Structure formats: structure tokens, C-alpha cells
Amino acid sequence: MSAVVIDGKAFAAGVRARVASHVARLSEEHGVVPGLAVVLVGEDPASQVYVRNKGVQTVEAGMISFEHKLAADTSEADLLALVRALNADPKVHGILVQLPLPGHVNADLVINTIDPAKDVDGFHISNVGLLGTGQKAMVPCTPLGCLMMLRAYHGSLAGMTAVVVGRSNIVGKPMAQLLLGDSCTVTIAHSRTRDLAAVCRGADILVAAVGRPEMISGDMVKPGATVIDVGINRVERDGKTRLVGDVDFASASAVAGAITPVPGGVGPMTIACLLANTLTACCRAHGLPEPE
């Protein structure tokens, strides 16, 4: 058996096109243009690439991109002052502070200073609480992208058994909340889980968000399962740097029913969902109907 490869790149292009057409209508009919502010502290190379891509795609969608690049030694007080200024700026509908932040900055304090209505990453404690209680929240972009692909592939997820490997606040926990919200029976596995392979083999939907290159192999996958690989790991192979997921694609795709590749799976959906969240935040700020 060879799995269907879920084309996240194509799926994300569709989401971006829908966002762009909604943005064009907002501007024509209401004179409103969504604005996304991205704050980058320091010079982490991976973060610089993410921020550049986010800026380019924001502009391509017809929105305004505000980029704030700050030195690595920027004080916590200065960063908090910038966040407060962005909270007060009516042209800014979404604020994203790129993580990780330098060690001398309290990341939780910075995130929780963002106006929850502008928190397009969905990391503010208010949005975490709203999601956890099944209320209207800003939903973290990576798990939201995974959920959208799962819904598109399966239709209803109700009654399916889902295993999420990884319990981070950014991916694992919100992913589990979203799957629970769609009436899956959810297990969250982590580094202390006993017999991880057996737990994973029980999953109709297996989401890997571990940060360990190709750790989930085919013998951990239930035949026919849908495998969502969130991992982005840079590895050296044959003298070249390559991107691989947390799933061993070769062995897992021989067993799974469907699988997301790396690159070209979850990654492109994350930025598409960021744009969708910014559009939603803008519509809410102006009391306009939200996109579907």
C-alpha cells in the first residue's frame, strides 16, 4: 500500500487565494485593509527566514505588513513598549512576536501583553482558555492548518481515534484541543509515554510534533491511518542540509492511508492560517462578517 500524499502546498495556496479575495472585497466595500505586525528580536537564521516569508505572503494577500526587527539585546521593557504601541495602533489587526525570544526576555509576559483580539498566533492565555473551553478563540496557526487538512481529507472526524505525539503549548496541546473539539477520541503522548509505538498504532489520526528527525517509523503507524507530520528538522545528508519531518516518510507512507510530506505539508499551511487569522481579527475589529 502506498499512502495518498496530502499536498499542503496546494492546499495552502487555496487558503491564501480565498483570503486574498476576501481582503480585496474588504478594501473595496469598506475601505479596510488588514495589517499584520511581526516582531523579530535578534538574528536567529530560521526565524529570519520565517519572518521574511510571512512578510512576503502578507503583502501578496493584499494586506499591510509591518516588520519590526530589533537587536538581540533589546530590553524587555522596550519590547513591551513596542507591543503596547502595536496594541493601540488601529492599522495593526494582528501582532506576532516571533519565538524563540532571547533568554533575558520573559516570553510569557510579552505574549500576554499582546491584545488577545490581535493575538493571531493564539498563544495569549485568554485565547488558550477560550480554545480549551470550546469558545471562539484565535487558534494557533500550525494546529489550525493541520485540522483544516484533516477536515478536507476526511470530512467529519467524529469518533476517530487521534494520537498527538508532543505536548507543547504551541502545537501538541492546541492540536489535541482542536481534535477533541471535532469529537475525536484523543491521546496526547510525550517523552514519558510508555510503549509509544503501541499507543501510536492505535491511531486513526497520528500527529507527530516531536522535533526529532524521522522518529515515527512505519511500524508505529496503523495500516490506513492518516499521518500529519508537523516536524521541521534540519539534518546533514551527503554533505547537504536537508529538511525532514518527525516521521520517517519512506516507511510510514508504505503503511499509512494518507500522509503529509516535509517540506510541502504542514509548513505552508501555518503561514496561510496566519493570514486567515489576521483577516478574521480585522473583520472582528471592524464588526464585519468573518470569513468562513
Interface residue list for ligand NDP (CB under 6 A): 142, 165-168, 170-172, 189-193, 196, 209-212, 230-233, 246, 266-267, 270
Q: Which three cell numbers stand for residue 120?
A: 493571531
Entry field: residues in the chain: 292
Decide whether 142 or 253 has the Cβ nearer to ligand NDP. Answer: 142
**3-state SS class at 136:** coil
DSSP letter at 100 equals S
Q: Measured between alpha carbons, how far is 35 from 93 in angstroms, rounded to an integer?
A: 5
Strands 233-237 and 94-97: unpaired
DSSP letter at 3 equals P
Cell match 509505538: residue? 197
Q: Determine if residue 166 is labeled as part of a ligand binding site.
A: yes
Smallest separation (angstroms) from ligand NDP to the CB of 274: 10
**Catalytic residue numbers, as ranges:** 54, 98, 121
Cβ atoms of 98 and 53 within 8 Å: the answer is no
Cβ atoms of 179 and 144 within 8 Å: the answer is no
Smallest separation (angstroms) from ligand NDP to the CB of 73: 25
Smallest separation (angstroms) from ligand NDP to the CB of 33: 26
Nearest 5°: the CA angle 182, 245, 205 is: 25
Smallest separation (angstroms) from ligand NDP to the CB of 48: 15
Decide whether 27 or 193 has the Cβ nearer to ligand NDP. Answer: 193
The residue sitting closest to ligand NDP, measured at its beta carbon, is 168
Decide whether 82 or 165 has the Cβ nearer to ligand NDP. Answer: 165
Decide whether 26 or 58 has the Cβ nearer to ligand NDP. Answer: 58
Q: Determine if residue 75 is labeled as part of a ligand binding site.
A: no
Q: Which residues are annotated as a binding site?
A: 166-168, 232
Q: Which residues are annotated as a binding site for NADP(+)?
A: 166-168, 232
